[in-house]
């Protein structure tokens, strides 16, 4: 169980950071499409967070750009996953990137419609109805659950469903939960409530994916999921470190 938790923790770091980079590049694209300019893209490595500095006469393109481009970017890891069915580790990492591309943007919309904060607050301030954000976010969350269910099937092995649930939640929720615990009183209450909502939503979606995960159900193309080799913990950790290093080099702190 500890091995599964470690693999998922590393996959969370790699997948979530790639998802956040795609989201922030979407904001940058919004600046440019609106006839503005981008001063700097800043990623808060090692935290899965960032922001874009710039100016534009069309603010709605910036506000919506993160979610729209971040979601469209899902196509890349999805195609990788479809083309690597005989390379289970690559497929696993690609699917986990799909999970967090959909999840990062879907939770922003879904939770932001309930508790407007961050990008969602900007969308509401620009006139978007809150029900629209909730409705738009729900399909992304459903897609995240389906992608996660497929990604984690090889990891279950002989673990019981409660054991597997504990391993998945511990691996994928530890970083977001730690971020919530470290949020100080100086953080805006709306933002704090929104982040807590994100963590709760992720936790529920992870549980739904685990509940629907059955290793006896064969993949329609690749057959039964291949069991992860002993090198998976090492390779997923290396992947996470490489993603963090490249992110830091390309989008250093201000």
What is the sign, positive or negative, of the torsion defined by CA atoms of 195, 196, 198, 203?
A: positive
Per-residue pLDDT of the chain (254 residues; tens, 9 = 90+): 889 999 999 999 999 999 999 999 999 999 999 999 999 999 988 889 889 999 989 999 999 999 999 999 999 999 999 998 889 999 999 999 999 999 999 999 999 999 998 889 999 999 999 999 999 999 999 999 999 999 999 888 878 888 999 999 999 999 888 888 877 665 677 778 888 899 999 999 999 999 887 755 444 444 455 667 788 999 999 999 999 999 999 887 65
pLDDT score recorded for residue 191: 79
pLDDT score recorded for residue 69: 93
d(CA 194, CA 203) in angstroms, rounded, equals 14
Q: 231 vs 10, 45, 92, 157, 252, CA distance in Å?
A: 13, 26, 13, 16, 31
Cβ proximity of 77 and 101 under 8 Å = yes
Domain ranges of the chain: 2-250
| Chain centroid offset of residue 72 CA | 13
Nearest to 150 by CA among 99, 204, 106: 99
The secondary structure of residue 1, as a DSSP letter, is: -
pLDDT score recorded for residue 227: 66
- DSSP letters, 36-101, are -EEEEEEE-TTSS-EEEEEE-S-HHHHHHHHHHHHHHTTHHHHHHHHT-TT-HHHHHHHHHHHHHH
pLDDT score recorded for residue 218: 43
Q: What is the pTM of this model?
A: 0.90
Q: 70 vs 40, 74, 103, 235, CA distance in Å?
A: 18, 7, 10, 26
218-240 pLDDT, tens digit each: 444 444 556 677 889 999 999 99
Q: Is 161 helix (H, G, I), strand (E, B) or coil?
A: helix
């Amino acid at each position: 169980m500890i091995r599964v938790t470690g693999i998922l923790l590393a996959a969370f770091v790699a997948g979530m950071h790639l998802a956040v980079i795609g989201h922030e590049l979407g904001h940058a694209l919004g600046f440019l499409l609106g006839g503005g300019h981008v001063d700097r893209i800043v990623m808060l490595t090692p935290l899965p967070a960032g922001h874009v500095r710039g100016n534009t006469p069309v603010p709605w393109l910036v506000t919506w750009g993160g979610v729209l481009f971040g979601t469209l970017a899902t196509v890349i890891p999805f195609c990788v996953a479809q083309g690597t069915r005989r390379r289970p580790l690559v497929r696993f990492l690609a699917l986990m990137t799909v999970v967090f591309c959909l999840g990062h943007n879907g939770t922003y919309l879904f939770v932001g419609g309930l508790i407007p904060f961050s990008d969602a607050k900007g969308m509401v301030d620009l006139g978007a109805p809150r029900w629209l954000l909730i409705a738009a976010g729900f399909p992304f969350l459903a897609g995240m659950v389906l992608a996660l269910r497929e990604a984690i099937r090889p990891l279950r092995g002989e673990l019981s469903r409660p054991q597997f649930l504990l391993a998945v939640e511990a691996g994928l929720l530890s970083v977001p939960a730690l971020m919530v615990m470290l949020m100080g009183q100086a953080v805006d209450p709306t933002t704090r409530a929104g982040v807590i909502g994100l963590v709760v939503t992720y936790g529920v979606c992870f549980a739904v994916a685990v509940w629907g995960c059955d290793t006896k159900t064969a993949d329609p193309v690749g057959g039964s999921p291949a069991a992860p080799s002993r090198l998976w913990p090492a390779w997923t950790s290396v992947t996470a470190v490489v993603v963090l290093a490249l992110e830091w080099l390309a989008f250093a702190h201000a």
